Amino acid sequence: MYSDKHRQILLNVARQSIDHGLKKGRPSPVNVGDFDAELAEHRATFVTLKLNGELRGCIGMLEAVRPLVADVSDNAFAAAFKDGRFSPMTIGEFQKLSLSISILSPAEPVLFSSEQDLLTKIRPGVDGLILRDGYHRGTFLPSVWEQVGASKEFLFHLKIKAGLPGNYWSDSIKIERYTTESF
């Protein structure tokens, strides 16, 4: 768990990166040495942007490949300017923007023998899932449970996000789970 102080620092870094992106067209540079050790640990994050309560961008990493504070800065910029579902953010949107950060735990495999068995192992409201099958891959953060009430519906929509039919099933599907600390 991160302290309120660290959470506020990360939220400020995200906002500064978007502001820098509006002015310079790139993420705000981050000197990791300027931050507490907890914020320099390698962690995977997602940054979610909302405008008037509606999704405006969401970009992140599933694996920890860089320091937390740098991951937040880069993902905030990418969510604002590189999410292919939306046009690049404008100054007017930035002024009305709400943002949240999700820090991911390391993913762990879920072992199951069938789709029905998998559905009994998914923890609604807790698990974020990564689905892989061949070249298909998709993830849903635990926050998606707020819009999707049941495990079956969650999995159905995750398959679609991964580019598969919602009713698709194969013994080659692999599922990993993770949790998040979100603020």
- Angle, CA 103 vertex, CA 102 and CA 107 arms, to 5°: 115
Distance CA 5, CA 1 (A): 11
pLDDT given at position 168: 98
pLDDT (tens digit, 9 = 90+) per residue, 5-17?
999 999 999 999 9
> 149: pLDDT confidence band, cut at 50, 70 and 90?
confident
Query: For the whole model, what pTM was predicted?
Result: 0.92
Domains (range + CATH), the chain: 4-104 (3.30.700.20), 108-182 (3.30.1490.150)
pLDDT given at position 94: 97
Range in 77-81, 124-128, 144-148 with the lowest mean pLDDT? 144-148
**How would you label 3-20 residue by residue, b for 16+ Cβ within 10 Å and e otherwise?**
eeebbebbbebbbbbbbb
pLDDT (tens digit, 9 = 90+) per residue, 81-94?
999 999 999 999 99
pLDDT (tens digit, 9 = 90+) per residue, 47-86?
999 999 999 999 999 999 999 999 999 999 999 999 999 9
Contact 104, 90 (CB under 8 A): no
